[in-house]
Amino acid sequence: MCADVDVKNSGADQKTIIRYDYAPGEISTLCADSINETQAALDKLATIPKEARTLENTIIAFDQIITDFQERSGVLIFMNYIHSDEKLRDEATKCDEKVGPFGISIFTRKDLYDVFKDLIGRNKNEEKLISEVKLSFEENGLKLSDETLAKVKDLKSQLAVKETQFSSNLNSDTSTVAVEEKELVGVPSEVIARLNKQANEKYLIPAQGPLYMQVMENCSLPETRKKLITASHNIQAEKNVALLEDAILLREKIAALMGFSTWADYRVMRNMSKSGKNVLNFLNDLKLKLKERNKKDIDQLLTFKKELGPSSTEIYPWDIYFLSYQLKKRDFSLDNEVIREYFPAEKVVQGMFDIYEQLLGLKFVPVKNIKVWHTDVRSFEIQDKTTKKLIAYFFTDFYPRDGKYKHAAAFGLIGGRQLGTNYSIPVSSIVANFNAPTAEKPSLLNHDEVETIFHEFGHIMHQTLTRAPYGILAGTSVQHDFVEAPSQMMENWVWQPEILSKISGHYKDTKKKLPQDLVKKMIAAKDFQQGYFFTRQLFLGVLDMTYNTSVGAVDTTAVFKKLYKEITGIEPVENDHFQASFGHLMSGYDAGYYGYLWSLVYADDIFTKFKGKNILNSTVGQKYRKTILEQGNMKDGMNLLHDFLGRAPNNKAFFERLHIAGSN
């Protein structure tokens, strides 16, 4: 993001941290080599005679072999998310389709399990590693009969392929809606200028991403918004609905063979929640608490809609973004297009760096001699502020392009682990899709996008600051319903007046900070429509859990429509297949989407230690770095929280956020 970074991809002084310049066919070859070499290394480990086994040549060697494989294959698969060459992306997808089943095959090997099952560690760290590795084998069926285990292995391999295909379909999607200019009433001219104009004078609106959202928020014609949301909720529907429904059946069969009532019970057994029943209790309790708050928010939108058109009688899905944004503009005088002017991306990122540096004792240094996969990409070193020692590298890849991942995410590419007397250098990347700079303006962010950067960079910190000794327990390899706590906790900073001053500056003159009256209005509006927002999050969590607690074939569309109406109080789009584009269902978050809300309870509790006078307190920040970010999965989430908080965590701050009654 810094202007002085040299983004040329050639030259003698350029070094490669993450390779991207693959020749045709090379990704396929390297992927196969990685699998074959890993297979050979594991075969050798499994044949070590019992009397010759040590912790170093068994469990610690296993961690090294698996981490090596994850890093080698992970970088290849990453190409599917960022590479501009469609053929290479296709190779990366096929690699992913092979890696998934191979990973399953590793943890269904009884010869390996027999090597580890009776090991005893010499210290707490080794005991934790042994315990987690054994659990990984056991959750893949190593206590089953050979016949049943073979069935589980086969079903999991089929499942992995379907999940990869689902995700690949979304990554490659380029759905658009063609409209005439007269259909864009209310859309700012600057937004229209960013749309692709065809020879027939029609404009193409992407069915997802920032331009989609800007049209949905501003277009006063409901017909246009309906077209857009219908297209958005049908992305890859023809292929992905079938893949999802096949996956649900496969999951049911696997769970039954493993001795679990549902896939959800199987998936969460190692999470903080422990069981599907506990998750559903959490969600249902929240549903009751949110019901009245959500109704007030929807009624507020309907009242506003009636002011715009007295004959209006109900709220439709295509109304939500428009009415919320327009009402927010009216009641709080907040206009995203005005707010954007004070959040040029480079200024936001540099301000964020300053904050993280002060809190966590770090230094972020732009690097000029690292090869990057696109001219938009920037590379940085993370150094310890006191010792000046290199800790990690990370990349930022912020702007849309064809074939690129469509949302925002933090990808851990090389993890942390102890290698002899040295500690490895982690590497991560933020991939996002903010408005790209133009000849007239730099990239400008709305406040939601600023919050997104802080969220994803929270993941980057968790991935790169790890000091866990073992790769498979490092960074964000924590319990699944804890992984979003550190990232969601960091969102709180963008709501503090002191911080908004640090990260803002008008794009024409960055010395001009976000005006105080605008800051006050933004903070005052923070609670606006939060009942609906959290109800939607709740709906997504319930939808996910319903799919993954089902028995028998599931009509995912019928389930979606029923739950959407029941929980949000709004009728869904008539031809709605939203589940086909709900990537979390098939990308490792299955029976896990509840984790966003679950971990937010803990994120809000963590923030109580920073809130107020400690917002930039380096002592508190360093404790947070040491007790949570550096630990990885060396301790369970509840223990990490207790170490930082100095007490048992509670949900008081979470329910205060929602202005609803809770329980401790």
What does the pLDDT look like over 557-572, one tens digit per residue?
999 999 999 999 999 9
Residue recorded with tokens 């390297």: 30
- Give domain limits for the chain: 26-141, 176-232, 237-334+531-586, 345-524+595-658
- Using 50, 70 and 90 to split pLDDT, how confident is the model at 406? confident
Please tell me the distance from the alpha carbon of residue 21 to that of residue 443, in angstroms, as a whole number.
27
Tokens representing residue 401 in the block:
């392009």
Q: Tell me what percent of the residues of the chain surpass a pLDDT of 70.
A: 98
Bridge partners (DSSP) of residue 366 are 380
User: Could you tell me if 597 and 437 are in contact, meaning their C-beta atoms sit under 8 angstroms apart?
Assistant: no
Q: Is the dihedral of CA 245, 247, 248, 252 positive or negative?
A: positive
For residues 46-71, average pLDDT: 97
List the catalytic residue out of 97, 245, 252, 456: 456
Q: What is the reported pLDDT for 14?
A: 85
Please tell me the distance from the alpha carbon of residue 427 to that of residue 75, in angstroms, as a whole number.
10
Cα separation of the two ends of the chain: 42
Tokens representing residue 263 in the block:
């896939």
Q: Tell me what percent of the residues of the chain surpass a pLDDT of 90.
A: 94
Query: What is the CB-side half-sphere exposure of residue 488 using CA atoms within 13 A?
Result: 18
Same fold, 237-334+531-586 and 345-524+595-658: yes
Tokens representing residue 378 in the block:
């920037």
Is the CATH number 3.40.50.2300 carried by domain 237-334+531-586? no
Q: What is the largest CA-CA distance in the chain?
A: 84
Residue 2 predicted with pLDDT over 80: no
Residue 378 predicted with pLDDT over 70: yes
Please say if 484 is a catalytic residue.
no
- Listed residue (346, 306, 324) closest to 450, CA to CA: 346
Question: What is this structure's pTM?
Answer: 0.90
620-642 residue pLDDT tens: 999 999 999 999 999 999 999 99
191-228 residue pLDDT tens: 999 999 999 999 999 999 889 999 999 999 999 999 99
Residue recorded with tokens 């404790």: 623
Please tell me the distance from the alpha carbon of residue 620 to that of residue 49, in angstroms, as a whole number.
49
Q: What is the reported pLDDT for 658?
A: 87
Q: What is the reported pLDDT for 12?
A: 52
Fold entry, domain 26-141: Glutathione S-transferase Yfyf (Class Pi); Chain A, domain 2 (1.20.1050)
Q: What is the reported pLDDT for 35?
A: 98
Q: Give me the CATH code for the 345-524+595-658 domain, please.
A: 1.10.1370.40
Q: What is the DSSP string of 463-476?
A: HHS---SSGGGSTT
For residues 574-579, average pLDDT: 96
Q: What is the reported pLDDT for 663?
A: 56
User: Could you tell me if 407 and 583 are in contact, meaning their C-beta atoms sit under 8 angstroms apart?
Assistant: yes
